[in-house]
Amino acid sequence: MLKKTINTIIALSLFIVSQAQIAVRADTVFTVTGKPVVNGIVLIRDGKIEGVGADISIPNGYTTYNAKVVTPGLIDARSVVGFSGAYNVPSDQDQLEKSSPIQPELRAVDAYNPEDKLVEYVRRNGITTLHTGHGIGALFSGQTMVVKTKAGITDDVTVKPLAMIAMTIGPSVSANYTSPGTKGKQIAMLRTELLKAQTTMKAGLKDSAKANSADLKQQMLQMLLKREVKALIEANTAVDIMDAIRLAKEFNLMLVIEGGAEAYRLIDQIKAAHAEVIVHATMARAMGDMLNMTMENAAILTKAGIPVSIESGYEGYVPKTRIVLFEAAAAVRYGLSYEDALKAITINPARLLGLDKQIGSIEKGKDADLVLFNGDPFEYTTKPCMVIIDGKVEVQNQCQ
């Protein structure tokens, strides 16, 4: 009995070691921040990238996997996965609270569902990191967060519990609330709330800190004003984008334009505002405030020197989400270079989220998030054969 127990312990130890020590060999390794490595090897140890290159020896004891192409784990720059569930019924739709148009205090970590079927769905398609949270349709809809798509409870998969404050300027707000009913009212209400927070913050009263500690809305608005958190503003038309830029200038906000369907018309203004841009899904439908969208948006902005990230965004119909890999591939068809398309779903969103020292590229010391493909990632028939997150194999797809 004792001998059997010892053997079991030894076998378990060897299994743990093999999972912690992985070698990935590929015809091409796209590091993203450097040149592609032909006949490259990536070594993984204890959840981190130990090394990458063409002239690396694989140490004894490493489990080796082979692929045609390896990329960093893909990052969805803006999603509502985990909030807008796969079943499209009221019980799994937590992305928008309609009791008030101004609720920046709503925490993403309190609503995120890591067991949602869509989390598994995007993981199987190579998405290892999500910037997700409260959705569009309210002036302040709530907070966003960053999570890994690996299996686990919310606390275990959360990378950043507070990433940005989600805001919306546009027709979806008026569709959800009686007030504001017009664009002018939307901006007036936003300014009113920010001015209130600004006045309280500037007053510097002895009891203000104590009072604000119990006012969650004031806490979050003051974080925006102090530039401790970014303002993520959904704005698609040129009018809405300019409203967002004026608002950011007036209150010195760190502005991230989300959607930006007509951003291609405002290159100079976006640059002058030092705004960051998350562009709508390339294959989104041209309707409503996105009537004048173009599939060349990502390419035009990138060529103008504006780094872009590509989002899956929000879908009102099943299966409720897009896959940014396909959206980036479509952007290549419409003028975005291959390298910039990969960046738009890896290192660019990592930088946007302030996590580029941890994720977004294949570099020594970073999280071991990798996707192993059986061909060109931007070819529709190519499949992600394996997805590794934090050094653990989370997905093994059939690629025959």
3-state secondary structure of 272: helix
pTM of the model: 0.93
Q: Report the chain's mean pLDDT, rounded to a whole number.
A: 93
pLDDT at 210: 54
Q: Comparing C-alpha atoms, which of 260, 254, 198 is closest to residue 231?
A: 254
Contact 37, 45 (CB under 8 A): no
Give the pLDDT band (50/70/90) at residue 207. Answer: low
Range name among 16-30, 187-201, 319-333 with the lowest pLDDT average: 16-30
Per-residue CA distances from 2 to 46, 291, 384 (Å):
30, 72, 43
Q: Identify the pLDDT of residue 398.
A: 78
pLDDT at residue 151, as a whole number: 94
Taking a C-beta distance cutoff of 8 angstroms, is the pair 49, 37 a contact? no
- Number of Cβ within a 10 Å radius of residue 27: 15
Q: Hey, what domains does the chain have and what are their CATH numbers?
A: 2-72+364-396 (2.30.40.10), 74-352 (3.20.20.140)
Strand partners, 24: 42, 65
Helices 216-225, 183-203: axis angle to 10 degrees equals 90
Share of the chain above pLDDT 90, in %: 86
**What does the alpha-carbon distance between residue 344 and residue 341 come to, in Å, rounded to a whole number?**
5
pLDDT of residue 2: 45
Q: Residues 237-265: pLDDT tens digits? A: 999 999 999 999 999 999 999 999 999 99
pLDDT per position as a tens digit, 366-378: 999 999 999 999 9
At 290, is the secondary structure helix, strand, or coil?
helix
Residues 372-399 pLDDT 10s: 999 999 999 999 999 999 999 999 987 7
Confidence (pLDDT) at 206:
47
Token duo for residue 320 = 């409720």
Separation CA 118–CA 127 (nearest Å): 11
| pLDDT higher than 90, residue 316 | no
On whether the CB atoms of residues 246 and 275 are closer than 8 A, the answer is: no
> From the centroid of its chain, how far is CA 42?
24
φ, ψ at 397 (rounded to 5°): -90, 155
Closest to 166 in 3D by CA, of 107, 84, 115 = 107
Is pLDDT at 297 greater than 60 in this prediction?
yes
The single-letter code of the amino acid at 273 is A
